[in-house]
C-alpha cells in the first residue's frame, strides 16, 4: 500500500509539471510537440524490456518481444520524425 501511495504522489506531481510545461508552447510548435511527447510515452519500452528479458517465463517473453517492437517503433519513429520537422524551422535569413 505504501508503494501505491508513493506512486500516486509522483503521478500527481508529474501531471502538474506536465500542465505547467506545456501551457507555454506557441501554436507553431504544437505538431512537433505532440509528436515529441508521443515519443516520450514510448517509455513503456523499459517495462517491455523487463518483461521480455526475464528468462523464467515462457509466453510472457514473447508478449514482451511484441511490446518491445511496438514501443521501439513509437520511440525511434517519434523522435526521428520530430527531429525531421524541427530541422526545417528557421528564421528569415538563417543559413545552414
Partner 1 sequence: MSHLLPEAVQSMIPVFIQISYLVAMALFIIGIKRLSSPATARRGNQLAATGMLIGLVVTLFDRQIISFELIIAGLIIGGTIGAVAARTVAMTSMPQMVAIYNGFGGGASALVAWGEFARAGDGVVTWAGQDLTTAGLGILIGSLTFTGSFVAYGKLQGIVSGRPITFPLQNYFNLLITLAILVLIGLFVIDPLNSHLFWLIFGLSLFLGLLTVLPIGGADMPVVISLLNSYSGIAASMAGFVINNNLLIISGALVGAAGLILTNIMCQAMDRTLGNVLFGAFGGGDETQAAEETTDKSLRKTFAEDVAIQCAYAKKVVIVPGYGLAVAQAQHTLKEVADSLEERGVTIKYGIHPVAGRMPGHMNVLLAEADVPYDQLLDMEEINPEFKTTDVVLIIGANDVVNPAAKSNPGSPIYGMPILNVDEAKQTIFFKRSLSPGFSGIDNELFYAETNQMFFGDAKESLQKLARAIKELED
- Tell me the C-alpha distance between 90 and 94, whole Å: 6
Least distance to partner 1, CB of residue 96, Å: 10
Q: Which of residues 2-61 bind partner 1 (CB under 8 A)?
A: 3-4, 7, 10-12, 14-19, 21-57, 59-61
Least distance CB 9 / partner 1 (angstroms): 10
How long is the chain?
96
* Phi, psi (rounded to 5 degrees) for 57: -110, 140
Nearest approach, Cβ of residue 88 and partner 1 (Å)? 4
Q: Per-residue x/- marks for partner 1, 76-95, CB under 8 A?
A: xxxxxxxxxxxxxxxxxxx-
CB 25 within 8 A of CB 33: yes
Cell numbers for 1:
500500500
Number of chain residues interacting with partner 1 (CB under 8 A)? 86
Amino acid at each position: 500500500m505504501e508503494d501505491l501511495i508513493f506512486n500516486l504522489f509522483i503521478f500527481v506531481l508529474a501531471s502538474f509539471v506536465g500542465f505547467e510545461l506545456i501551457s507555454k508552447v506557441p501554436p507553431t510548435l504544437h505538431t512537433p510537440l505532440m509528436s515529441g511527447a508521443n515519443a516520450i510515452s514510448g517509455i513503456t519500452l523499459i517495462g517491455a524490456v523487463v518483461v521480455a528479458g526475464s528468462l523464467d517465463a515462457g509466453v510472457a517473453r514473447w508478449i514482451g518481444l511484441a511490446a518491445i517492437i511496438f514501443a521501439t517503433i513509437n520511440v525511434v519513429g517519434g523522435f526521428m520524425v520530430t527531429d525531421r520537422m524541427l530541422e526545417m524551422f528557421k528564421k528569415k535569413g538563417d543559413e545552414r
